[in-house]
Amino acid sequence: MALLPVAAALERLLEGAAPLASESVSLLEAVDRVLAEPVVALRTQPPFNASAMDGYAVRAIDVASVPSRLSVIGMAAAGRGFDGAVGKAQAVRIFTGAPLPQGADTIVIQENVRDLGGGSIEVVEPTAEGRNIRRFGLDFSEGDILLEKGRVLDPAALSLVASANHPQVGVVKRPLVAIIATGDELLPPGSELGPDQIISSNAYGVAAAAQSVGAHALDLGIAADREEAIAALVRKAVTAGADVIVTLGGASVGDHDLIHDVLTGEGMTLGFWKIAMRPGKPLMFGRLGDIRCIGLPGNPVASLVCSQLFLKPLLARLGGRNFRQDIRQARLGAAMQANDLRQDYVRAAVRQEAGMLVATPFSIQDSSMLRMLADANGLIVREPFVSTAAAGDACSVLMLR
């Protein structure tokens, strides 16, 4: 089977992917969710002319020249307005958010007033009509479209939805990703290892990648290298309602690489298998009904690089999110050899030097070395068949953070 170029593989993987169905959730559950429909205001804000400051509600004509002596006839606070009307040479003590009393048309801030005692004040600075007043409908009016479909509900957006009097909001369902690790050699973190065993680490990084684009991750644990064990977890993922099944390891062509046979045995239609990239060549993709299945390589670095390139764009699209890889132009900090038919993603340290990005590849690129990936803040992208490059030559970098 010929190796599929990265761009073609991504196109096939995303084909037909669209936002999932919507659901209505409470505002406390809506943090970082994606709107499935526009949000329309159910009320007007402010619902009345309101004071923007602590001070005194007065008639502007009475404070056009100063000093001006006024009689205080009452008080207005947020939630407790003044029932009467402000007349000539009168004032109402008012606090931020309180309704503007009838007859008043401006607010004198308290710093510009002297309390004379006995219910009288003296205004010492003139105040024009309309000052320090939040007008009716200043923020929004009933029927206004406040947020468009597709908006991610950040703190400001959520507060706006609440202010518009929505106790719930319609959002795109979060994609559910079921993660299945495979391998007799694997044990969970914290285990006492035997002489032939290692810690299973990939699932945690893949789950983090999924959650970073708003998906739910369901870790189904580790399946032994037996077809029936793997098939049992695949069926468990289907029963759980997974939108995507991710398998870790077992997607190559060795005697113990069983993922292809298990998934096709469960009804998966193979989309592609083996990508012209390094690391990540054994990547597999197919469809099990409406469920998308991704077989990630077992090597930790390859698994996480493929998650960045393929899993995150897929989950973002299913969740109604925009996703774009952060690819920037840089200069090489060291020479690089000519490339073969595979597209390389080379771990690198990327830093600013003299106003430009400089990407220095690490000297060792073994796909089992997680520490080097954790140290890298970018991947130098090397197209197939490019020639030798010298330090200082231009390059493309996929930024990781």
pLDDT of residue 254: 54
**Digit-coded pLDDT (tens) for 316-343:** 999 999 999 999 999 999 999 999 999 9
Q: Contact at 8 Å (CB) between 27 and 169?
A: yes
The token pair at 59 is 């008639």
pLDDT of residue 1: 63
Same CATH topology for 6-20+174-318 and 22-45+139-172?
no
User: DSSP label at 196?
Assistant: T
Q: Contact at 8 Å (CB) between 308 and 319?
A: no
pLDDT of residue 251: 66
CA nearest neighbour of 276 among 379, 345, 338, 324: 345
Compute the average pLDDT of residues 117-125. 96
The mean pLDDT of the chain is 96
User: Percent of the chain beyond pLDDT 90?
Assistant: 96
**Digit-coded pLDDT (tens) for 8-41:** 999 999 999 999 999 999 999 999 999 999 999 9
**Digit-coded pLDDT (tens) for 56-77:** 999 999 999 999 999 999 999 9
Type of residue found at 17: A
Strands 113-117 and 120-123: antiparallel
**Digit-coded pLDDT (tens) for 220-268:** 999 999 999 999 999 999 999 999 999 999 766 554 579 999 999 999 9
pLDDT of residue 229: 96
Specify whether domain 6-20+174-318 bears CATH 3.40.980.10. Answer: yes
Type of residue found at 47: P
Catalogue the long-range contacts made by 24-31 (C-beta closer than 8 Å, 24 or more residues apart).
24/168, 24/169, 24/170, 24/171, 25/168, 25/169, 25/171, 26/167, 26/168, 27/158, 27/161, 27/162, 27/166, 27/167, 27/168, 27/169, 30/153, 30/158, 30/161, 30/169, 30/171, 31/153, 31/158
Task: Tell which CATH architecture fits domain 327-399.
Answer: Beta Barrel (2.40)
Q: Contact at 8 Å (CB) between 365 and 299?
A: no
Cα(94)–Cα(363) distance, rounded to whole angstroms?
Answer: 70
**Digit-coded pLDDT (tens) for 355-384:** 999 999 999 999 889 999 999 999 999 999
Question: Span 50-134: which CATH code?
Answer: 2.170.190.11
Strands 176-182 and 244-248: parallel
SS3 label, residue 288? strand
CA nearest neighbour of 280 among 255, 256, 259, 301: 301
Domain ranges of the chain: 6-20+174-318, 22-45+139-172, 50-134, 327-399
pLDDT of residue 222: 96
Catalogue the long-range contacts made by 285-288 (C-beta closer than 8 Å, 24 or more residues apart).
285/9, 285/12, 285/13, 285/310, 288/234, 288/238, 288/245, 288/263
**Digit-coded pLDDT (tens) for 272-306:** 999 999 999 999 999 999 999 999 999 999 999 99
Instruction: Look at the block and give the residue holding tokens 């398998």.
Output: 247
pLDDT of residue 169: 98
Cα(358)–Cα(347) distance, rounded to whole angstroms?
Answer: 13
Torsion sign (Cα): 180, 250, 263, 13: positive
pLDDT of residue 253: 58
Q: How many residues does the chain have?
A: 401
Distance of CA 394 to the CA centre of its chain: 31
Task: Tell which CATH architecture fits domain 22-45+139-172.
Answer: Alpha-Beta Complex (3.90)
**Digit-coded pLDDT (tens) for 35-59:** 999 999 999 999 999 999 999 999 9
316 phi and psi angles, rounded to 5 deg: -60, -45
Compute the average pLDDT of residues 186-208. 94
Q: Contact at 8 Å (CB) between 380 and 346?
A: yes
Whether the per-residue pLDDT at 181 is higher than 70: the answer is yes
Whether the per-residue pLDDT at 390 is higher than 70: the answer is yes
Quickly count helices (H) and strands (E) in the chain.
8, 26
SS3 label, residue 398? strand
